[in-house]
């Protein structure tokens, strides 16, 4: 079977934080998580956009909570897509961070032709994977090759993120192996990674400049000269740091860097990483 | 064997000699402290040597009178090592070790034996220093050993000793011609000077012996009377010690007031800082008197009777070890200043030893902290160039893995502590810490304690001076321009993060104001200001 635009659809949840060109792609559908401020519930990205969310976050006396989509929501989505497509790839937030994958898997068990993929990632990392998959839809790819690419992407991708504060990760309980992190007085900037789906500390440094340098060094170390590397950047409204990051990556010698359009960290992920966070994901083709 | 053989080294003779040596060092300590190359308050050589020898005297006081020679010497070696403070103290401990290895062999102490002891002490000390530098106490020791070899057939031991000591003073006088920094600062080597004071003092402690002092260093010297109190077994219960910091401290008057409250009283230091040690039944009264004069830190009150009982229990194997912490590594850091301590604690450093400039901790102080650790590996951050050698003595003294990451300042120590991760093994942490401090440039702003020409900068006493990586780069009357100059140099080369640890004095406030202004000059640099609370330095800076 050939995976292409006529045969195959892609489903994501709202934590993929897709940039516009992917969000409006006819073959890509999105099932939202829910964000709560107290008793008020909003569908992530649908009823609450990032800008409004971060405004609200600043003044809210309570921290937002989030919840995964129901299995029913996924099943509805899959059913309607299966009317038009033979195959559905459903790509989601790390199962170690959220129950979203679990909901999708329950839905998957009730219908044929759906494959749930645990991206072991979040936000721009998922968007980067979707970007790579959509390109393969465009050119038409044998199913085995398409599946093999997903496997390789999950094994070889690198994802770093830089919160401006650890407050939200700590309070939200999503800090994983980074939970022993100490040091709040000295402008400590931990560069965090997601390893095997879990938040971990890549390196602890001081100040944003050093943190960006650490991410750049990680990029240089894990990519080879001359090969094409796709890079996805996302940010929770932090243009200055994003621009520095972009500049650093583009200045690395001898790498064929393809930056995909930047995405904005949406409400659900923003509730855990806080305003100003920047994420950086890359994969070598 | 000549007929002028001395008796073998009994406990009482060793005590006599060491006490006399200590008394001489104690008397001339300030003179030695004043020989600092850098016109900044430094790990004071005189104080360090005196405290190191004091540790030896105290330990020997506790020895049973009839101990065999070999064990006396071993005990002195051990005490020197445990009490070693500062680089000069550590080198002295190695000198003592070498000498004791020879003196501990059976037989009377003859001129030949003393000559061999000096020779072996020289070899041991040179080996202990990674890059021996001539013009230091090593040179002075070597030249005394050489003089001993030439004088070993002197008719009387008094003449032998006189020739050795005279050679020592000549060697001290020569140190500026061997070491440029000494010549520039117009001083002789403090460690070498202290060594000869010690040897001469000990030699004078031999009943009836007086050796002449070379003219240049001649001072009216009171008879070398050992402090008898220190030789008594104490009847008091509490061993009390503390550090008193103030200004214009009067050592004699404090001595007078405290001596009525106990025995074994020892007060060392200068008018800014005194280390006080006393055995007393009224620790509260002692602290009351001292507390009225200044700030008390490092207060230690030990119940000696309880300690003795505890030691006996421990030896009996009764003491249970504390449960093992989940971490693999703990960090011991030597830190001065309450704010700085808080920063280290905030980074997960839970074993902090008070100290730094002008009050270097001893090997024993560091060992005590190491032994409080429950993790299998311990990393020591000495945070001072003058503590590194002391720290490097500790790995041999415990079965625990101890790794020294040779941080030369509080600032580099913090950079190392930033990457500390207790879940990782000691070696991994040490590697990451070394990488983290690579490329960190440090600076200090302080006041010159005297005029000098150093590193090509002309300095007047009380000038504000800026040092980068321990070298003076600028001096001036006002804080602000010196801060601006130093910061400019630090940030040269595109460093993006400047950390400032503010000290206690008035200059610190001016430095802080200057740094706030500099935010406008360097909009792209993150300037991170903290209250460090360290003495002597208006501000400690680092850029990375």
Domain-terminating residue out of A154, A175, A208: A154
Instruction: Match domain B441-543 to its CATH number in 2.40.50, 3.30.1180, 3.40.630, 2.40.400.
Output: 3.30.1180
What long-range pairs does A270-273 form, CB within 8 A, spacing at least 24?
Answer: A270/A50, A270/A53, A270/A54, A270/A57, A270/A236, A271/A35, A271/A53, A271/A57, A271/A63, A271/A64, A271/A65, A271/A66, A271/A168, A271/A172, A272/A66, A272/A168, A272/A169, A272/A172, A272/A174, A273/A161, A273/A163, A273/A168, A273/A169, A273/A236
Selecting from A182, A184, A209 the residue whose C-beta is nearest the C-beta of B497 gives A209
Predicted TM-score (pTM) of the model is 0.66
Average pLDDT (A110-114) is 94
pLDDT score of A41 more than 80: yes
The answer to whether residues A171 and A219 belong to one domain is yes
CA-based nearest distance B375→chain A, Å: 16
User: What pLDDT, on a 0 to 100 scale, did the predictor assign at position A81?
Assistant: 97
The answer to whether residues A162 and A140 belong to one domain is no
Confidence of residue B209 (pLDDT cuts 50, 70, 90): very low
User: What pLDDT, on a 0 to 100 scale, did the predictor assign at position B280?
Assistant: 83
Q: Dig out the tokens for B375 from the structure.
A: 């993790």
CATH superfamily of B11-217: DhaL domain (1.25.40.340)
Residue B163 CB coordination number (10 Å):
18
Interface test with A, best of B327, B497, B501, B541 (most A CBs within 10 A): B497
The answer to whether residues A55 and A190 belong to one domain is no
The answer to whether residues A92 and A112 belong to one domain is yes
- State which residues form the domain around A19: 2-154
In this structure, what CATH number is given to the domain that contains residue A145? 3.40.50.10170
Domain boundaries, chain B: 11-217, 237-303, 329-437, 441-543
The hierarchical CATH code for the domain B329-437 is 3.40.50.510
Selecting from A201, A204, A206 the residue whose C-beta is nearest the C-beta of B497 gives A206
User: What pLDDT, on a 0 to 100 scale, did the predictor assign at position B537?
Assistant: 92
CA-based nearest distance A98→chain B, Å: 26
The answer to whether residues A7 and A122 belong to one domain is yes
In this structure, what CATH number is given to the domain that contains residue A223? 3.30.1180.10
**Of residues B226 and B93, which shows the higher confidence score?**
B93
Confidence of residue A176 (pLDDT cuts 50, 70, 90): low
The answer to whether residues A100 and A203 belong to one domain is no
Confidence of residue A12 (pLDDT cuts 50, 70, 90): very high
Contacts of A188 in chain B (CB under 8 A): 347, 418
Average pLDDT (B182-186) is 77
Exposure of B243 in the CB half-sphere (CA atoms within 13 A): 13
Of chain B, the percentage scoring pLDDT greater than 90 comes to 37
> How many domains are there within chain A?
2
The hierarchical CATH code for the domain B237-303 is 3.30.70
Residue B36 CB coordination number (10 Å):
21
Whether A66 and A173 have beta carbons less than 8 Å apart is answered as: no
The answer to whether residues A27 and A167 belong to one domain is no
Mean pLDDT of chain A: 92
Whether A258 and A228 have beta carbons less than 8 Å apart is answered as: yes
Average pLDDT (A160-186) is 74
Confidence of residue B11 (pLDDT cuts 50, 70, 90): confident
Interchain CB distance below 8 Å, B530 and A188: no
Average pLDDT (B366-376) is 91
pLDDT score of B242 more than 50: yes
pLDDT tens figures, B384-423: 988 999 999 999 888 889 999 999 999 999 999 998 988 8
Interface of A with B in 201-220 (CB under 8 A): 201, 203-210
Domain-terminating residue out of A154, A180, A196: A154
pLDDT score of B227 more than 60: no
B/e letters for B118-152, b = 16+ CB within 10 Å, e = fewer, are: bbbbbebbbebbeeeeebbbbbbbbbbbbbbeebb
Q: Between the ranges A14-23, A156-165, B161-170, where is the mean pLDDT highest?
A: A14-23
**Of residues B2 and B537, which shows the higher confidence score?**
B537
Residue A19 CB coordination number (10 Å):
19
User: What pLDDT, on a 0 to 100 scale, did the predictor assign at position A249?
Assistant: 93
Q: Which residue of B has its CA nearest to A182?
A: B347
Contacts of A183 in chain B (CB under 8 A): 346-348, 418
ipTM of the complex: 0.71
Lowest mean pLDDT among B108-117, B155-164, B213-222: B213-222
Interchain CB distance below 8 Å, A186 and B347: yes
Average pLDDT (B450-475) is 89
Q: Which residue of B has its CA nearest to A209?
A: B496
Contacts of A201 in chain B (CB under 8 A): 421
pLDDT tens figures, B114-149: 999 999 999 999 987 767 889 999 999 999 999 999
User: What pLDDT, on a 0 to 100 scale, did the predictor assign at position B404?
Assistant: 97
pLDDT tens figures, A227-260: 999 999 999 999 999 999 999 999 998 889 999 9
Confidence of residue B308 (pLDDT cuts 50, 70, 90): low
pLDDT score of B317 more than 70: no
Q: Which residue of B has its CA nearest to A212?
A: B496
Please give the interface size between A and B, counted as residue pairs whose CB atoms are below 8 Å apart.
Answer: 52
The answer to whether A198 contacts chain B (CB < 8 Å) is no
User: What pLDDT, on a 0 to 100 scale, did the predictor assign at position A53?
Assistant: 97
Average pLDDT (B441-456) is 88
The answer to whether A185 contacts chain B (CB < 8 Å) is yes
**Of residues B308 and A283, which shows the higher confidence score?**
A283
The answer to whether residues A200 and A263 belong to one domain is yes
User: What pLDDT, on a 0 to 100 scale, did the predictor assign at position B298?
Assistant: 66
Interchain CB distance below 8 Å, B418 and A183: yes
Confidence of residue B223 (pLDDT cuts 50, 70, 90): very low
CA-based nearest distance A189→chain B, Å: 10
The answer to whether residues A100 and A166 belong to one domain is no
pLDDT score of B311 more than 50: no
Q: Between the ranges A143-147, A170-174, B367-371, where is the mean pLDDT highest?
A: A143-147
Average pLDDT (B322-341) is 80
Alpha helices (runs of H) in A140-206, residue ranges in sequence order: 143-156, 167-172
Cβ contacts of B156 within 8 Å, gap of 6 or more: B4
pLDDT tens figures, B266-290: 666 567 767 677 778 888 888 888 8
User: What pLDDT, on a 0 to 100 scale, did the predictor assign at position B306?
Assistant: 63
User: What pLDDT, on a 0 to 100 scale, did the predictor assign at position A48?
Assistant: 96
pLDDT tens figures, B63-90: 888 888 888 898 898 888 888 887 788 8
Interchain CB distance below 8 Å, B423 and A180: yes
């Amino acid at each position: 079977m050939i995976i292409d635009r006529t045969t195959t659809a892609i489903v994501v949840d709202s934590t993929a934080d897709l940039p516009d060109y992917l969000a409006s792609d006819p073959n890509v559908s999105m099932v939202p998580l829910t964000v709560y401020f107290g008793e008020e519930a909003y569908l992530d990205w649908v009823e609450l956009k990032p800008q409004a969310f971060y405004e609200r976050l600043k003044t809210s006396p309570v921290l937002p909570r989030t919840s995964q989509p129901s299995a029913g929501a996924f099943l509805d989505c899959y059913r309607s897509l299966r009317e038009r497509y033979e195959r559905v790839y459903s790509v989601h937030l790390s199962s170690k961070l959220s129950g979203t994958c679990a909901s999708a898997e329950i839905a998957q068990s009730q219908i044929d032709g759906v494959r749930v993929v645990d991206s072991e990632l979040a936000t721009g990392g998922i968007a980067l994977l979707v970007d790579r998959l959509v390109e393969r839809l465009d050119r038409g790819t044998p199913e085995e090759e398409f599946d093999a690419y997903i496997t390789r992407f999950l094994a070889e991708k690198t994802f770093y993120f830089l919160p401006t504060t650890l407050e939200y990760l700590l309070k939200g309980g999503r800090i994983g192996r980074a939970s022993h992190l100490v040091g709040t007085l000295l402008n400590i900037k931990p560069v965090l990674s997601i390893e095997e789906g879990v938040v971990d500390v890549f390196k602890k440094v001081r100040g944003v400049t050093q943190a960006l340098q650490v991410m750049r060094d990680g990029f240089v170390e894990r990519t080879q000269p001359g090969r094409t590397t796709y890079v996805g950047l996302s940010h929770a409204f932090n243009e200055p740091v994003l621009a520095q990051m972009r500049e650093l990556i583009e200045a690395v010698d001898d790498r064929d860097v393809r930056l995909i359009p930047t995405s904005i960290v949406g409400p659900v992920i923003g509730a855990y990483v806080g305003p100003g966070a920047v994420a950086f994901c890359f994969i070598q083709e | 064997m000549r007929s002028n053989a001395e008796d073998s080294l009994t406990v009482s003779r060793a005590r006599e000699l060491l006490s006399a040596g200590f008394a001489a060092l104690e008397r001339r300590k300030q003179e030695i402290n004043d020989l600092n190359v850098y016109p900044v308050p430094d790990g004071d050589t005189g104080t360090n040597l005196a405290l190191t020898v004091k540790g030896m005297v105290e330990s020997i006081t506790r020895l049973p009178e009839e101990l065999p020679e070999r064990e006396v010497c071993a005990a002195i070696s051990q005490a020197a090592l445990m009490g070693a403070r500062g680089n000069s103290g550590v080198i002295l401990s190695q000198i003592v070790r070498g000498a004791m290895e020879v003196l501990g062999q059976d037989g009377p102490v003859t001129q030949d034996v003393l000559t061999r002891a000096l020779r072996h002490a020289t070899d041991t000390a040179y080996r202990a220093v990674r890059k021996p530098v001539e013009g230091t106490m090593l040179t002075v020791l070597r030249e005394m050993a050489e003089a001993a070899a030439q004088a070993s057939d002197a008719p009387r031991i008094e003449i032998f000793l006189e020739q050795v000591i005279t050679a020592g003073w000549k060697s001290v006088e020569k140190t500026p011609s061997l070491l440029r920094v000494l010549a520039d600062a117009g001083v002789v080597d403090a460690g070498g000077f202290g060594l000869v004071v010690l040897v001469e003092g000990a030699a004078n402690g031999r009943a009836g012996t007086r050796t002449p002092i070379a003219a240049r260093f001649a001072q009216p010297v009171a008879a070398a009377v050992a402090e008898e109190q220190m030789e008594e077994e104490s009847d008091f219960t509490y061993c009390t010690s503390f550090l008193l910091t103030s200004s214009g401290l009067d050592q004699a008057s404090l001595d007078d007031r405290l001596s009525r409250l106990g025995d074994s009283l020892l007060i060392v230091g200068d008018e800014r800082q005194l280390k006080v040690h006393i055995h007393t039944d009224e620790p509260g009264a002692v602290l009351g008197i001292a507390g009225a004069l200044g700030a008390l830190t490092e207060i230690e009150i030990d119940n000696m009777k309880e300690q003795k009982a505890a030691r006996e229990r421990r030896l009996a194997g009764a003491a249970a070890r504390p449960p093992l912490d989940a971490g693999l590594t703990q960090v011991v850091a030597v830190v001065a200043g309450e704010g700085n301590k808080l920063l280290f604690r905030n980074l997960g450093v839970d074993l902090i030893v008070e100290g730094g400039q002008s009050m270097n901790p001893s090997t024993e102080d560091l060992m005590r902290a190491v032994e409080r650790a429950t993790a299998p590996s311990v990393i020591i951050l000495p945070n001072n160039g003058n503590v590194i050698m002391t720290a490097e003595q500790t790995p041999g003294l415990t079965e625990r893995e101890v790794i020294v990451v040779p941080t030369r300042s509080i600032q580099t120590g913090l950079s190392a502590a930033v990457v500390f991760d207790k879940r990782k093994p000691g070696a991994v942490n040490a590697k990451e810490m070394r990488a983290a401090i690579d490329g960190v440039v440090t600076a200090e702003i302080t006041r010159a304690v005297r005029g000098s020409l150093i590193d090509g900068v002309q300095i007047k006493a009380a000038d504000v001076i800026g040092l980068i990586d321990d070298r003076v780069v600028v001096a001036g009357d006002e804080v602000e321009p010196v801060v601006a100059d130093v910061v400019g140099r630090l940030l040269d080369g595109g460093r993006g993060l400047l950390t400032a640890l503010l000290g206690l004095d008035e200059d610190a406030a001016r430095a802080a104001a200057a740094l706030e202004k500099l935010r406008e000059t360097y909009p792209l640099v993150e300037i991170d200001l903290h209250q460090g609370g360290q003495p002597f330095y208006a501000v400690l800076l680092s850029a990375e």
